[in-house]
Amino acid sequence: MQFKDKVVLVTGGAAGIGKATALRFAEEGAKVVICDVDETTGRETLKLLGPEASFHKVNVASREDVQKWTDTVMVSHGRIDVLVNNAGILRDGQLVKFKEGQLVGQMSEVDFDLVIAVNLKGVFNCTQAVAPVMIQQGSGVILNATSVVGLYGNFGQTNYVATKSGVIGLTKVWARELGRYNIRVNAVAPGFTATEMVRAMPEKILDGMKARTPLGRLGEPRDIANAYLFLASTEASFITGAIISVDGGIVIGT
């Protein structure tokens, strides 16, 4: 119960890694506040998080939504100890696609802008809203979701990789800027992880993911949640500006 009475915010907390992270912090006694655009799934997850947890429908790409959420949490709890910037989306596609010498497709501007808005601007919005609270209380931990593809790149993910590489940069900048206020900022880079979305993929693709992972299996959402839990704990009190890969040893492209 090392997080008893601590207030932990998890964006994208309705499902997948976000849900596992919310559950893990709740197990350790935290007052968990999750947000997501999926209200139905979010309220189902809330039932698992205990009587002091709460759910809010928030689009992290909207600064207005994020500020209202932060203000509401402060009215309810009076503090914010941990922010996990987990919310993210995919809209995959090649930069340009040629067939027989002709351009037959390309990533749309709409898909590029949407992924940037949620995965990168969303992290900026949430951190900028929460940081003043942590500064005033003299402590806090900010944890950002990047990805192994942010380190190594990946075919067909120009927009997603741009955001995850960008999050690594934000993490390092904020570790420098906020350290003086006793605020630590770190990021976790998951590899292939068996979320609900990934488990629904064809068996052939899943086997390929496992084959490219030296440990021979997909990660579980709880594996990533445990990394967040450690980085938020007092045991990690001298770790900031770090990018922790939780990927079973994978190197994209091998």
Q: DSSP for 142-160, please give it.
A: EEEE--HHHHH--TTBHHH
Share of the chain above pLDDT 90, in %: 86
Share of the chain above pLDDT 70, in %: 98
Cα distances from 198 to residues 63, 181, 201, in angstroms, run 30, 39, 5
Which segment of 47-56, 229-238, 244-253 scores lowest on mean pLDDT?
244-253
Q: Which two tokens stand for residue 46?
A: 């809330």
Domain residue ranges of the chain, discontinuous segments joined by +: 7-246
Output the pTM of the full model: 0.95
Q: Which of 152, 160, 181, 228 is catalytic?
A: 160
Q: Binning pLDDT at 50, 70 and 90, where does residue 106 land?
A: very high
- The mean pLDDT value for 68-96 works out to 97
pLDDT tier, 252 (very low <50, low <70, confident <90, very high otherwise): low
Nearest to 201 by CA among 193, 212, 211: 193
Helix (H) or strand (E) holding 131: helix 122-137
CATH no., domain 7-246: 3.40.50.720
Average pLDDT over residues 40-52: 96
- Residue 199: the pLDDT is 83
The span from the CA of 186 to the CA of 232, in Å, is 9
Write out pLDDT tens, residues 123-178: 999 999 999 999 999 999 999 999 999 999 889 999 999 999 999 999 999 999 99
Question: Using CA of residue 241, residue 90, residue 33, residue 44, what is the dihedral sign?
Answer: negative
pLDDT tens sequence across 175-229: 999 999 999 999 999 998 988 878 888 888 889 888 888 899 999 999 999 999 9
Amino acid at 93: G
* Average pLDDT over all residues of the chain: 95
pLDDT of residue 154: 87
For residue 122, what pLDDT band results from cuts at 50, 70 and 90? very high
Cβ atoms 29, 1 nearer than 8 A: yes
Tokens of 93: 């596609």
Is 160 labeled as catalytic in the residue annotation?
A: yes
Q: How confident is the model at residue 85 (pLDDT cuts 50, 70, 90)?
A: very high
Is the predicted pLDDT of residue 111 greater than 60, yes or no? Answer: yes
Q: Coil, strand, or helix at residue 188?
A: strand
